[in-house]
Amino acid sequence: MTRTAVRAGALAMIFVGAGAVGRAHVTVWPQQSQAGGSERYTVRVPTEGQVATTAVELEVPSDVTVTGVLVGTGASEARREGDRIAAITWKLEIKPGEVGEFVFFARNPKGSQIAWKAHQRFADGTSADWTGVEGDRRPASVTRLAAGR
């Protein structure tokens, strides 16, 4: 495998076809984890419409501690508030019918769930804000947390 191919797969993997998309909105996986534990999270970003996605920003809840962001193809930026990462933005063209995946590592809070608010930006200047509650038109992705052992 070439160095370019390895780097391309490290940050963003692009899948062609709707079959790779479980839902039509930005989601954070896994959707279940341990309260107080450390986790490897994957942000899945589909482009369902006719206009390419150019960036996605993930808001990091104040009780979540990001411990790392996987680096590879594309660009990522971390917005800090004091010592903590408050948001991560990944910039990469995701064409219509494709899905991008971006990876970060975090320490979970002690609560029962994490609501991940995301902002998807498109090449035509429009955006989709995935920030609502469950049942809304554009809900935030939720990771349910089980009590630690």
Give the Cα-Cα-Cα angle 64, 46, 68 (nearest 5 degrees): 30
- 11 versus 112: which is more confidently predicted? 112
All structural domains of the chain: 3-128 (2.60.40.2230)
Cβ-contact 89, 55 below 8 angstroms: yes
Model pLDDT for residues 18-59, shown as the tens digit of each residue? 333 334 589 999 999 999 999 999 999 999 999 999 999 999
- Between strands 32-34 and 118-122, the pairing is unpaired
- Between strands 118-122 and 53-59, the pairing is antiparallel
Q: Which of 32, 144, 11, 147 is nearest to 75 (CA)?
A: 11
Model pLDDT for residues 87-132, shown as the tens digit of each residue? 999 999 999 999 999 999 999 999 999 999 999 999 999 999 999 9
Angstrom CA distances, 58 to 18, 50, 108, stand at 23, 22, 15
pLDDT at 149 over 90: no
Task: Return the pLDDT at 7.
Answer: 39
Task: Return the pLDDT at 73.
Answer: 65
